[in-house]
Amino acid sequence: MRILVCGGTGFVGRHLCRHLAGLGHEVVVVSRAEGPAPAGAARRVSWDKLLEAVESAEAVVNLSGAGVADGRWSARRKVELKASRLTTTSRVVQAILAAKRKPEVLVNASAVGYYGDRGEEKLVESSVPGGGFLAELCMAWENEAERASEAGVRVVTARIGVVLGIDGGALPRMLPPFRLGLGGPLGSGRQYMSWIHIDDAVGLLWLAASRRELKGPLNVTAPAPATNREFSRALAASLHRPCLFVVPGFILRGALGEMAELLLGGQRVEPAAALGRGYTFRFPELGPALTDLTHPLPG
């Protein structure tokens, strides 16, 4: 297949490009950045060549979007977060609708933030959306992507959890204090983290692109979500460090404002659609996933 990846220079995008290339597919990356194509991609095209690129692709994967944890959620930052998702997705969908030759599938990123802060409630793809800024953003994001179905294109919205990798995402930010023995739970520690190893994240994105019977939401999470306390203890154990400290919620709220809800709220998400289609996780359990990332085998 020729697969078009928008946002292919980001953390998940880079891994996805290498994974798809390893399966023998031709990968084309759409990016604003200058320079050579990322590893695994055959070439890079600019956004002004989007229509031409869409017309030559069998599948489109859109991972574009500014990082929600990259800055305090000021009014200006919220506008940026919305625009980086909705505007980009709208451009991709408009190109699909205008294309003379249309791709078979659009896999569009979303996030488990769709479900809002839901405590211990078990959440699957059919669960209703939650409330709050992230939930509203994800709903609008998914609705925009779904417009591609008007052209007969299969649409999968990938509700991505906390992706664990050593070269991007949340884990590298967590490692320094834990390596010093200063890591620990955030707030109560009871909030759930719906995590996934980067290898399984790209595996599920490929599942979404390749399985023709799969459409609608797909939870891109491991089958064993962990509370923040469980995650903290597992990370400390993987580094052979203690887990003694707690960061009070009021400190996080004072430092981060509304964005603190990313850390103090949570979702207990299960990948029901993936499991129902027989996907076999490489890292279904948290301990082995963290050990693989913090103590990789040579080669």
CATH code for position 256: 3.40.50.720
Domain range for 183: 2-294
**Interhelix angle 286-294/228-238, nearest 10 degrees:** 40
Q: How many domains does the chain have?
A: 1
The DSSP-derived string for the chain is: -EEEEETTTSHHHHHHHHHHHHTT-EEEEE-SS-SSPPTT-SEEE-GGGHHHHHHT-SEEEE-----TTSS---HHHHHHHHIIIIIHHHHHHHHHHH-SS--SEEEEEEEGGGG-S-TT-EE-TTSPP--SHHHHHHHHHHHHHHGGGGGT-EEEEEEE-EEE-SSSBSHHHHHHHHHTT----BTTS-SEE-EEEHHHHHHHHHHHHH-TT--EEEEES-SS-EEHHHHHHHHHHHTT------B-HHHHHHHHGGGGHHHH---EE--HHHHHTT---S--SHHHHHHHHHSPPP-
CB atoms within 10 A of CB 124: 15
Tell me what percent of the residues of the chain surpass a pLDDT of 90: 79
- Of 148, 41, 165, 22, give the one whose Cα is nearest residue 96: 148
Domain membership flag for residue 202: yes
- Establish if 170 belongs to a structural domain: yes
Per-residue pLDDT band for 298 (boundaries 50, 70, 90) equals low
Q: List the structure tokens of 215.
A: 């459409």
Q: pLDDT for 14-51, tens place per residue? A: 999 999 999 999 999 998 766 777 788 888 899 999 99
In the predicted model, what is the mean pLDDT of residues 207-225? 97
Q: pTM for the whole thing?
A: 0.94
Mean pLDDT (the chain, rounded): 93
The pLDDT, as a whole number, for residue 62 is 97
Domain annotation covers residue 50: yes
Tens digit of pLDDT for each residue in 282-295? 999 999 999 999 98
As a whole number of Å, the CA-based R_g of the chain is 19
**Per the structure block, which two tokens stand in for 247?**
């960061």
* 42-51, 188-197, 254-263, 269-278: the lowest-pLDDT one: 254-263
Read off φ and ψ for residue 45, nearest 5 degrees. -125, 155
* 299 found inside a domain: no
Handedness of CA 90, 17, 163, 251 (dihedral sign): negative
Which has more pLDDT, 157 or 75? 157
pLDDT band per the 50, 70, 90 thresholds, residue 297 = low
Positive or negative, the CA dihedral 258, 260, 262, 267 is negative
- Residue 132 is predicted with a pLDDT of 92
- Quick check: 10 pLDDT over 80? yes
